[in-house]
Amino acid sequence: MINQFVTSNWYLFAALIAILGLLAFDPIRRRSSGIRPVSAIQLPQLMNHDNAVIVDVRDNTDFENSHIAKAINIPINQLKLNLARLEKYRKKETAMVLVCRSGQQATRGAQVLRKENFPNLYTLDGGMNAWEKEHLPVQR
């Protein structure tokens, strides 16, 4: 019975396998690139115990509306132009966490910094959406 259903609807199963493959690809790609995701719940510990630096890559307006305390705002389209502002955090032991609204722009920013040989990079998994969903503090 199941075999008949699968045979009759093979295109649905092919689509399901393709979607699952795409969903699995992003975390694998991030880990293999040396960029690690950190959850909203884990980030305060990284900030408090490892003195992590938070780099918010959202535009200035979004940053001013709400941001994580002590975050540095460098919009994603200005990141390459502002590498000098981050130079003092290049040390291997300094964790740098990139933050955006949902996590996608932060990943792009982390890839830029990885190419510039910044070590110990993280992205906030789910971005500020996840941070605010957990009711963690923001500055306005």
User: Which CATH number goes with the domain that contains 84?
Assistant: 3.40.250.10
The reported pLDDT for the residue numbered 82 is 96
| 55-102 pLDDT tens trace | 999 999 999 999 999 999 999 999 999 999 999 998 878 899 999 999
Task: List b or e across 83-122, with b for residues whose CB sees 16 or more CB atoms inside 10 angstroms.
Answer: eeebeebeeeebbbbbbbbebebbbebbbebeeeebebbb
pLDDT of residue 19: 82
Domain count, the chain: 2
What is the chain's mean pLDDT, rounded?
A: 90
Residue 82 domain-assigned? yes
Average pLDDT over residues 47-57: 95
- Which residues have CB under 8 Å from 12's CB, separation 6+? none
Owner of token pair 């960029």? 35
11 is in which domain, residue-wise? 1-32
